[in-house]
Chain A
């Protein structure tokens, strides 16, 4: 097979070098390439591509724990849309992703601009700000849980001491406040990624542009809108697309803090799929829920690749 594809390639004349010598090199080069790639290729085929196909099969079947199940067409998806919990999960996912992403974009941009101008204690401050992204999320979310614990919440203690609240606020038992806390923790963890990546984008913008704009009388706001933002757009787009996937597919924070409750008001696709497929044994339904991540994944991959191509054109 290797030989065949390589032979096909020979038909395309390569400019420059002598064709026959090039041909020999190419065949050997391809063979080496395939040999090098083989282990990763088999790993990804067997443990990513195959499970994905399996997931599609599960979603179209009535598979339960211990049985392969039989084909039921789009039955699982139909049942999901008539289930109020799933519709709630869909709403939660949209709200969670939209709110967390917006907060991370705005705060991350502001933080990147600040970090960019810092001269003293640069490494220390950057290091401190990046820390939440590195610490294991499942463990750091535990401390957030403790901080919002009903009786001994440090947040409530502070609010009461500052006379901003006169009673303990039930953060996690309240559906809307629980959603707020879950978003807050996601922003806490994801903000460093935005800030550090945007900072790298800022550093790459040529200084001369700002000097020229300043000479032309542009103020700081004008410089931000007309130079920083347009030149940062590609990086910003990539960061947003990346974060969109990882925010939408979040499992750890919700599972540790609320397990999807109270009253399923914080379930996301991942946690609901876990609850249905593993805890409930309804593998078919669970797989169908998790597959809702796929169209978004595809959209992101498509946009991402277009961006990469575009960037390559500019180079």
Chain B
């Protein structure tokens, strides 16, 4: 009898606590989630809606009432060099990421491990370049790119993206390298390993999460880059995804909203997939800049 009353009381307090959590945490967080997701949901809905429904002011814009259509996607494939843009983005992002991660590993290692004159100033210099926004440098960089004879080629992007990727990745990797104990490496070096070998065989395998994180961020930043790609490359078929969708699908006052949204969807998909697979790496990379 007493037991039953006690159980009932526990249940009641539990239910009350759950209700309180619902009203003080879950309901207040809902507007944030809707605010974050609605534009992306609307992007997808628009890209799958027929023009008749899209441009009917009386239809409800939030969902698709008159059937899904792939016509915006087929228009994108048939009438624009869309898949070229996709391939260009992929080539540039993968190459720039590979170059940047290699350079950053090489630069972060001495900063985290070795004592040498000028270490502090180089660290500060990396930090400053990390903060330099591309919008400060695009004008002079475009004349450097011209002078190198790289304008209107994907090389202009492969060469310039590392300018913001290397500082970021170096900073990130420095933090990761410092968390790996020095002693294991010292042992390897006593056994006759060179610095380079010990870094390659001992440190890097221990810092794989850091490497994944750096590569993910480098890829994301390259894929999302807009200003340099807009300035350095002008032939339509050489554009990257972000620039191509924006500049080639808007002709004067005619907007192909369905296809624009279809392009935006496909352009976001590689990043969203990487994001879903590696959410924790994104979170740790994002916070390490500010916390470490």
CB within 8 Å of B: which of A121-173?
Answer: 123, 125-140, 142-144, 146-147, 149, 151-152, 154, 157
Which of A78-86, A175-183, A266-274 participates in binding chain B?
A: A266-274
Which of A94-102, A110-118, A207-215 participates in binding chain B?
A: A110-118
CA distance A126 to B282 in the complex (A): 11
CA distance A29 to B110 in the complex (A): 9
| Contact residues in B for A20 (Cβ distance below 8 Å) | none
Q: Chain A CB within 10 Å — which of B106, B159, B196 has the most?
A: B106
CB within 8 Å of B: which of A186-232?
Answer: 188, 191-193, 196-197, 199-201, 204
Q: Please tell me if the beta carbons of B25 and A48 are within 8 angstroms of each other in the complex.
A: no
Q: A301 is contacted by which of B127, B134, B162, B242 (Cβ under 8 Å)?
A: B127
**What is the minimal beta-carbon distance from B118 to any residue of chain A, in angstroms?**
7
CB within 8 Å of B: which of A45-98?
Answer: 46-48, 50-52, 54-55, 58
Interface presence of A290 (CB below 8 A): yes
Q: B166 is contacted by which of A40, A140, A143, A147 (Cβ under 8 Å)?
A: A40
Q: B139 is contacted by which of A50, A58, A131, A199 (Cβ under 8 Å)?
A: A58
**What is the minimal beta-carbon distance from A10 to any residue of chain B, in angstroms?**
10
Type the 1/0 row for B160-177, where 1 means its CB is closer than 8 Å to any CB of A: 101100110010000000
Interface presence of B125 (CB below 8 A): yes
**What is the minimal beta-carbon distance from A303 to any residue of chain B, in angstroms?**
11
Q: Please tell me if the beta carbons of A54 and B144 are within 8 angstroms of each other in the complex.
A: yes
Q: Please tell me if the beta carbons of B57 and A9 are within 8 angstroms of each other in the complex.
A: no
CB within 8 Å of B: which of A213-269?
Answer: 235, 238-239, 242, 245-246, 249-252, 255-256, 269
Interface presence of B251 (CB below 8 A): no
Q: Please tell me if the beta carbons of B220 and A41 are within 8 angstroms of each other in the complex.
A: no
Interface presence of A313 (CB below 8 A): no
- A36 with B138: in contact, given A29-B114, A193-B286, A196-B287 (CB under 8 Å)? no
Q: Please tell me if the beta carbons of A40 and B104 are within 8 angstroms of each other in the complex.
A: yes
CA distance A139 to B124 in the complex (A): 34
- A138 with B243: in contact, given A26-B115, A130-B282, A147-B39 (CB under 8 Å)? yes
Interface presence of A23 (CB below 8 A): no
- A55 with B122: in contact, given A5-B117, A129-B32, A139-B242 (CB under 8 Å)? no
**What is the minimal beta-carbon distance from A118 to any residue of chain B, in angstroms?**
6
| Contact residues in B for A52 (Cβ distance below 8 Å) | 132, 136-137, 140
| Contact residues in B for A242 (Cβ distance below 8 Å) | 131, 289-290
CA distance A246 to B224 in the complex (A): 15
Q: Please tell me if the beta carbons of A127 and B279 are within 8 angstroms of each other in the complex.
A: yes
**What is the minimal beta-carbon distance from B252 to any residue of chain A, in angstroms?**
14
| Contact residues in A for B188 (Cβ distance below 8 Å) | none
| Contact residues in B for A144 (Cβ distance below 8 Å) | 39
- A139 with B275: in contact, given A111-B32, A114-B29, A130-B282 (CB under 8 Å)? no
Interface presence of B69 (CB below 8 A): no
Q: A125 is contacted by which of B33, B35, B260 (Cβ under 8 Å)?
A: B33
Q: Give me 9 other A-B pairs in contact (C-beta within 8 A), A29-B195, A48-B132, A199-B287 excluded.
A: A118-B29, A132-B36, A137-B226, A144-B39, A146-B257, A149-B255, A249-B134, A278-B142, A293-B133
Interchain Cβ contacts under 8 Å between A and B, 28 examples: A26-B116, A36-B109, A37-B107, A39-B103, A40-B103, A40-B126, A41-B122, A43-B162, A47-B162, A51-B137, A115-B29, A117-B24, A128-B36, A129-B36, A131-B40, A134-B272, A135-B272, A136-B264, A139-B241, A139-B264, A143-B39, A146-B46, A200-B287, A286-B139, A290-B136, A293-B133, A293-B136, A301-B131
A residues bordering B, Cβ < 8 Å?
A: 5-6, 8-9, 26, 29-30, 32-34, 36-37, 39-41, 43-44, 46-48, 50-52, 54-55, 58, 107, 110-111, 114-115, 117-120, 123, 125-140, 142-144, 146-147, 149, 151-152, 154, 157, 188, 191-193, 196-197, 199-201, 204, 235, 238-239, 242, 245-246, 249-252, 255-256, 269-270, 273-274, 277-278, 283, 286-287, 290-291, 293-294, 297, 300-301, 304-305
Leading 4 A-B pairs by shortest Cβ distance: A270-B135, A249-B133, A33-B110, A54-B140
